[in-house]
Structure formats: structure tokens, C-alpha cells
Structure 1
Amino acid sequence: MVLKAERRRWLIIAIIFIAIVFNYMDRQIVSILKPMLKGEFGLSDSGYAWVLNIFTISYAVMYPISGWLVDKFGTRLVMFWGVLGWSLACIGGGLSRTILPFKFFRGMLGTAEPTNFVAQLKVVTVWFPGKLRATANSLCVAGSSIGAIVAPPVVAWLALKYNWRAAFVILGAIGVLIALLWKWVYRDPPADILLEATGNNNSAAIPAFRWKKLWTRKSLWGILLIRFVSDPVWYFCLFWLPGYLQEESGFTLAEVGMFGWIPFLVADLGAIATSAWSDKLMEKGHEPLKARKIMLTAVACFAPLCMLVPYIPNAVGTLAVFSIVAIACLSWLFTVSVVVAEAFPANNVSSVLGIAGGFGAMGAVLFNYFVGQFIGTMGAEKIFIAMSFLHPVAVLLLWTMVCLESPKAIN
């Protein structure tokens, strides 16, 4: 029975991985097809930034709600409706004939997508013990960068062979099948697995903060600020790098399809390796939260390299620097979730991640607006310099504000 449950948890991780792959492919379609969509709908850079922000604002608002829904109604149900919802939104975007319905479906996409990540962290927390948690988390969340890797060639191929609408419709249809697969496979963990992962064999009996008490915890505010300042760098890589390569480095759409995936592959492999390293630090005697902090601090040292990008004379150098910066970004995105799982009770992790993810997305909204308004007038140099300081600030917040939180005697 235990062996069967141990196998099931890795199958669950595999399905989450696939879901996140298509989650990121669906959200990244607009960045890959940016010139094509700007021509189709008559958008300026500022107009394109608003399309991004409709998605991102919806994403930010729904993230905390999604976390509460997972803690309240369970992982299986909430994730099913989330995957189904964003897949239908992707299809709707491909069928849109004018900019208004297109914007509506991008908003719907942003509303549905956060369910994936808050559900994923709850799965990792209740199915995996601490010695496997960061590795398991990184393997399923690796779907984000794999999605970013495969999106450029797949989306470019579909758009060039058929049309831009086909990319939206086909990828959305695959997502509907993933939702059905999830509902068929997922089950809550048995008592022995839950005991190994959380120290309690009854999920209802795990101590937890009430919702309003979460907001009084210093660690929550630390994690919110960390996501607010660090997430925008990753969003820039996702939403602006493909267009930057075409408009500033001279890549064609076909060349973006051929080479635009490289930074995301490097980031994926690097972030899995850094997550495994943090698990190894724990095995060597570091307490879990400190192990995560040490790793995140080390990789943040590479993030300031992004200030070099505007001065690099060729696309090869640009891809190389973005690859290194992307390792830092994705390591933080992966492991800050594990920090949540180490710092808060299992029955609060989805809510905390949801609140934090909303703050991270709002940071990206503000940064997207700033980039869209000023990249043409201020120059790219100042944008990249601003980004270079964000992860060092996040390191300071991590060490000064985040600690182990216990609900005993608090509620």
C-alpha cells in the first residue's frame, strides 16, 4: 500500500509538470507572436503592455483567492477547474476577431492560471517529506521553464504553418485533456504518507493560522515583499525577451523559434540543481529554512549581470547573459515556494503562496507598465540597471523577515 502511494505521488508530480508546461505555453503565446499581434490588432508597445497587464492584474487578484480555495475545498477540485478554465480561455483568445474579446480571454486566462501553483505547493507539502520537498517541488515547477523552452518553436511553427489563431486553439484543446487526466488520477495522501510529510496523519488536525492571523505574521510580509521585488525580473524574461530579441537583436520569428528557448532550458536545469543542493544542505545538518536561505543567497549574486545586456553587441551574448540571470530568477521562483512550506503549517501553505503570488504579479504589473511606457524614451540601459538591484533586495528581506511560524498560542 505504501509503495503504491509512493508511486502515485510521482505520477501526480508528472501531471502537475505537464499542466505547468502548457500553463506557461498558453501565457507566453502573446510574447512570441508580439509583432504579429501588434499588427493584427493595431497595438503600440504601450498597448501591448496593457494586454500583458490585463492578464497579470487578473492573475494577481485571483492568486490569493485561489490559495484560499485550495485550503478550503481541496487540491483535486480547484486544480481541475483551474486547468479547464485557462484552457478554454486560450481557445477563446484564438477565436477572437477584435481586441476587446481578446483582452477578455487574456483576463480569463490570468484568473484561472494561479490555481495550478497554489495546488502544486499543497501537493508537495502533504505528499513529500522535507528531505525530498525542494527536489519534488523543482521537478514539477520545472514545467514553467520547459513550457518557456518549447513554446517558441511550437508556437512559431503553428503560426507559420497555419496562422496565429491555431497556436491558441490547439494548445488550449490539449489543456482540456490535461484537466480530465488530473481529475482521474489525483487522490489525497494516505495517513502514513501524510504523517511522514507533515508529522500528523490527519490533515484536519494539523495546526494552522486563521486567515486574519496570517496577516499579523512578519514572515508573511517578508515573503510578500520578496515576491513583489523579485518576480518582475522573471516576468521580463517571459514577456519581453522574445520581442527584445526580434526588435533589438535582429532575430526573425523563425530564429526566435530556433534559439529563444535556450535561456529557459539553462534556467530549468540550473534551478533543479540548486533546489537539490538546498536539500543536500539540509541532509548535512542545516535546518530546512536555513538551507533554502543559503542557496537563494548564493544564486542571487548572479542576478545583477542583467545590467550588461544593453551593452552586448550580439544576440549570442544576450542569450548567454539572460541564461545566467534566468537561473537566479527560476531558483528563487522555485524555492521561495519551499520557504513557504518550511515556514508555515501545511494547511496554510496554499493561502500564503496565493497571497505572495498576487503581490509578485502586482510587482510585475507595475514593472510591465514602467517598461511599456519608458523603454522607448529612457532607453533599455536604465531598465536593466533597475532589474539588477531587485534580487539583492530580496536577499535582505529573506534573512531579516522570514522565520519559522507556529500557530500554537496565537489563534
Structure 2
Amino acid sequence: MTVLQTQKGRWFSEKRRWFIVAIIFLAIVFNYVDRQMVSILKPLLKKEFSLDDGGYAMIVNVFTICYAVMYPVSGWLVDKFGAGRIMFYSIIVWSIASIGGGFSRTIGQFGFFRGMLGVAEPANFPAQLKTVTIWFSGRVRATANSLCVAGSSIGAIIAPPLIAWLTLSFNWKVAFFVCGLMGILIALLWKLVYRDPPPEISREVATELSGEAGAAAAPEAFSWWKLWTTRSLWGILLIRFISDPVWYFCLFWLPGYLQEGSGLSLAQVGMVGWIPFLVADLGSIGTSAWSDRMVRNGTPPLRARKIMLTVMVALAPLCLLLNYLPGVTGTLIVFSLVAVMALSWLFTVSVVVAEAFPVPNVASVLGIAGGFGALGAVLFNYYVGEVIGSLGPATIFMLMAVMHPLAALVLWTMVRRE
């Protein structure tokens, strides 16, 4: 009877952890829909609030600066209070921020709610990584992580048609209201389903992390301040600072670039603007599964992630072609391949954190790293806003072509198992 109960409990635990992954996926979908709305509605919002490209960059940076500052704090909160609680409250707050954006009548009000969105949203990712780390072993961790974070690109996929349809059918304010209400429903679903892992799952993960010696030999956690003395933390920070801006560019500037640079209407962007993000999503899930397969075939987990990420860097030089492509089709193809590379890095660098640091530090490290990544995006976004109107995008695309190769160099020279 005891064996039967144990097997039954294990079956329920297996099912629950994949339900948890599904809810995280949904949360990240609307996390990205909320943040990408300003890009899709860029021409309309510029007219609504009398903004130029510099003013639009300022609105993007209000979100991104708040995001960067709050990311390390969010990681610490997750390690301190647990993924379940912090995820729930962060979804509630960012949903309220989205609804508030729809009620905004002035640029000051709109900027306030975009900042509020930036404060609330980063907790999602440390909580997600903490959940994956404690619920999944290294044999499937990258795949589970990629399925969760795939919500980012799915959000980017559905955002153009969804926001375009809501805006054209009603108005731009309704788009903010609908997405905010969806977030509240997801928060309630998370509250209903999430639980900490049962002992048998915890033992499996702890044994894998500590090797044959067993859970008792698991590496001791660093204090928050002690983390800053580790070489791997600084490596992860540099990697995120250098590589994240490429993905942020795809999110915040591609839809507007298609409208202003390629002459597409909002409705046409709704029809094709999702394509690069779908390709990125499928490609990055595939690369994550490949790295898991290397682990199952005997490659050490951290080395498997490094090999996969280095192979993906071969796509970086395609950025140089973006300024010379004729028509929308060529732009979409190259952006799709660049997005596969950028999203593969964004997905798997999180797994690198889980492989390199003790479990109690995972959320804190990701929070610090995410803040540095967002800071890199702030600086890059400011540069884009200043340069794209005067010199054109060629200089930006040249810079994007070298950012991931530099990140790969840092990955191999600075990141190790701490």
C-alpha cells in the first residue's frame, strides 16, 4: 500500500509540475504582450501624445530603467519569500499597470503606468527559473525552462494581430484593458495550482546537483554579498549586458521598423509581424532540447549549454545584411534567424545560472543578471533613438553583429561551476 501511495504521489507530482510550466508559459505570454504594446502602437501613441522618436525612446526607457532596477530586488525577493508568493503578486501588479495604461490621458500618466509595469514584470523570470530549478533535473531542465520562457516569443507572436485587432475594432485603450484582465485571471490560476515540490522531487534534484555523494554534499549557498566575489557572476552579468539588447531591439523596434521603414500599415504588421517571433520560439525550444540531449548522452550540463550557445553565434553576422535587404520578405527572414540566436541565448543563459550556482542563489543571480541585461538595453535603446533618425539603422546593425560573439568569449573564459 505504501509503494502504491508513493507511485500515485509521484504521478501527481509529475502532472503538477507540467501544469505549473503551462501557467508560467501563459503568464510570460501576457508579460510580453503588455510590454510590446507600445512598439505595435508606436505611430498611434506618438500621435496621441505628440512624441518624436526621442520621446518614444524615453517612454521605452521609463519601463526599461524600472525593470533594470527592480530585477535584482525581484531575485532577492524570490529567494527570500519563495517563487509561488512573489509570482502571484507580481502578476497582479503588472495587470493593474496595464489597465492603468488604458486609463491614461496624459503622457505623464502613461509613463507612470509603464514604470509600474517595469517594476512588477521582472519578478516573473527569477520566480520561473527558481521553479524550474527545484522541480526539474538537468536531464530536462533546459527543455522545461524553454517551454516556460517560450511564452516570451509567443507573446510577441500574438501581440501584433491581437493588439491590431483590438485597436482597429475598438481603440488602443481597450487593448490595455483586455490584457490587464487576462493577467488577473492567470494570477488566480497560479494561486490555485502552484505548490512547492514534494520530497521525492527535491531529493532527485539535490542528488543530481551534488553528484554521487548525495544531497548532504550539496554546495553551500553564498550570501548575497558573497555572490559578488564569484567570477561566474561577473561573467553572467557581462553576457546579459552585451547580448540582451539584441532581443530588446527585436521587441521594441521591429514592429515600428516594419511600419516606418518598410511602409506596412498597422493591419499588415498584424498579419506578418509575428513571423520572426514564431521562428525564434520554435528554434530556441529546439536548441534547448538539443543541449538537454547532450546532457543525457553524457556531456556535463554546463558544457552542453556552452556548446549550443557558441554554435548559435554563427547567426550573428546576418545582422550586417539587414540594411541591404530588398523588401519585407528578406527583412523578416533575417530578423527571424537573428531572433532565434538572441532568444536561444536568453533562454539558456538562465539555465547556465542554474548549472553554475547553488539552488538557493539561483533567483538572486538571475535577478542581478537581468538587471544588467536591462541596463544594457537602456543604453542601447537610447543609442538607437538618437542614431536611427539621423544616421539610419546601418550602424546599429553593425553593432548587433558583434554583441553575441563577445558574449560567447565571456561565457567560455569566465563562467564555471561555483
TM-score norm. by structure 2 comes to: 0.95
Partner of 2:41: 33
Give the Cα–Cα distance (whole angstroms) in 2 for the partners of residues 266 and 95 of structure 1.
34
8 Å Cα contact 2:241-2:373 kept in structure 1: yes
Q: Is 1:263 the equivalent of 2:276?
A: yes
Give the Cα–Cα distance (whole angstroms) in 2 for the partners of residues 49 and 360 of structure 1.
17
Q: Is 1:156 the equivalent of 2:167?
A: no
8 Å Cα contact 1:194-1:202 kept in structure 2: no
Alignment-mate amino acid for residue 336 of structure 1: V
In the TM superposition, what is the alpha-carbon distance from 1:198 to its structure 2 partner?
Answer: 2.4
Partner of 1:172: 180
Of stretches 304-313 and 192-201 in structure 1, the one that deviates more from structure 2 is 192-201
Give the Cα–Cα distance (whole angstroms) in 2 for the partners of residues 117 and 173 of structure 1.
21
Cα deviations by residue, 1:224-272 (Å, 9 ceiling, x for unpaired): 0000000000000000000000001111100000000000000000000
Matches within 5 A, 1:78-227: 78-199=86-207, 207-227=220-240
Q: Is 1:384 the equivalent of 2:397?
A: yes
Give the Cα–Cα distance (whole angstroms) in 2 for the partners of residues 140 and 281 of structure 1.
20
Q: Is 1:373 the equivalent of 2:390?
A: no
Partner of 1:404: 417
In the TM superposition, what is the alpha-carbon distance from 1:166 to its structure 2 partner?
Answer: 0.4
Q: Secondary structure at the match of 2:370?
A: helix
Choose from 280, 288, 310 the match for 1:275.
288
Alignment-mate amino acid for residue 304 of structure 1: P
In the TM superposition, what is the alpha-carbon distance from 1:202 to its structure 2 partner?
Answer: 8.6
Cα deviations by residue, 1:178-208 (Å, 9 ceiling, x for unpaired): 11111111000011101111228999x8721
Give the Cα–Cα distance (whole angstroms) in 2 for the partners of residues 372 and 310 of structure 1.
17
8 Å Cα contact 1:245-1:256 kept in structure 2: yes
Partner of 2:31: 23
In the TM superposition, what is the alpha-carbon distance from 1:300 to its structure 2 partner?
Answer: 1.1
Cα deviations by residue, 1:284-328 (Å, 9 ceiling, x for unpaired): 221100000000000011022011111111011000000000000
Unaligned runs of 5+ in 1: 406-411
Choose from 51, 55, 73 the match for 1:43.
51
Give the Cα–Cα distance (whole angstroms) in 2 for the partners of residues 376 and 68 of structure 1.
39
Change (3 A) 1:3 1:206: farther
Choose from 316, 319, 329 the match for 1:303.
316
Choose from 313, 322, 327 the match for 2:340.
327
8 Å Cα contact 2:206-2:215 kept in structure 1: no
Which aligned runs of 4 or more in structure 1 are off by greater than 6 angstroms? 200-203
Q: Is 1:356 the equivalent of 2:361?
A: no
Give the Cα–Cα distance (whole angstroms) in 2 for the partners of residues 95 and 261 of structure 1.
27
Give the Cα–Cα distance (whole angstroms) in 2 for the partners of residues 25 and 376 of structure 1.
26
Paired residues, what number?
Answer: 404
Alignment-mate amino acid for residue 87 of structure 1: S
Give the Cα–Cα distance (whole angstroms) in 2 for the partners of residues 285 and 354 of structure 1.
30
Alignment-mate amino acid for residue 237 of structure 1: C
Partner of 2:3: none
Choose from 70, 73, 85 the match for 2:81.
73
Unaligned runs of 5+ in 2: 1-8
Alignment-mate amino acid for residue 414 of structure 2: M
Cα deviations by residue, 1:355-378 (Å, 9 ceiling, x for unpaired): 000000000000000000111112
TM-score norm. by structure 1 comes to: 0.97
8 Å Cα contact 2:102-2:175 kept in structure 1: yes
Alignment-mate amino acid for residue 103 of structure 2: L
Give the Cα–Cα distance (whole angstroms) in 2 for the partners of residues 337 and 160 of structure 1.
37
